[in-house]
Amino acid sequence: MALREVLQFPDARLKRVSKPIGEIDDAIRQLASDLLEVMYDEPGIGLAAPQVGEAVRLIVVDTEWSQPGGERNPLVLVNPEIVESHGTLVWTEGCLSVPDFEADVTRAERVRVRARDLDGKTLEIDAEELQAVCLQHEIDHLDGILFIDRISRLKRSLYVQKRKKALRREQEDEGASTAGAARL
């Protein structure tokens, strides 16, 4: 089956607040496996369900597999929430839903995240540095927040302008290639 498409800014679906998951059924298990497939294919180190258009509280994270000698060891988290956070750090972030942009974001340095796994078992994860950043970034997606909502307004508006220009160019290119085609 084809990989699910990752929504890109400014798609309005990225701004929705996702719903908590009740029963973990086959649809949720399938969605988790779709998310992993997309994350490893892109490649990325985290992905949230709303990024593929599903407004439910499900994320996948694997911050080690892309390191030298790293193996795939994903966390699949249902209804993740940050229950403790400590310290601050600045990390340069990017996002599969925010093309061609990176920026420094201030986050908590360490977090404790409570979630359920796909068997419904409650987990608590103590994360720091990159893994903590990634968990905060993905949980933000569940609340309709992108990392560009956490940078200065100036930097954000420069990106938004650049992105709009790129989208206009794409549209013009598409318009050129389909000119003369029958409109049915």
Identify the residue among 21, 38, 95, 108 touching Zn ion (CB under 5 A). 95
Mark 48-87 with x for binding to Zn ion (rule: CB under 5 A) and - for no binding: ----------------------------------------
Tokens at 124, concatenated: 């608590």
**Residue 6 engages Zn ion in binding (rule: CB under 5 A):** no
Of 138, 170, 172, 174, the catalytic one is 138
Helix (H) or strand (E) holding 45: none
Q: Which of residues 95 and 132 has its CB atom nearest to Zn ion in the complex?
A: 95
Phi, psi for residue 26 in degrees, rounded to 5: -60, -35
In the chain, DSSP assigns E strands to 46-48, 58-61, 75-86, 89-95, 98-107, 110-116, 122-128
CB 146 to Zn ion: min, Å? 7
Span from 3-11, 92-100, 152-160, 162-170 in contact with Zn ion (CB under 5 A) = 92-100
81 is a catalytic site residue: no
The answer to whether the beta carbons of residues 20 and 79 sit under 8 Å apart is yes
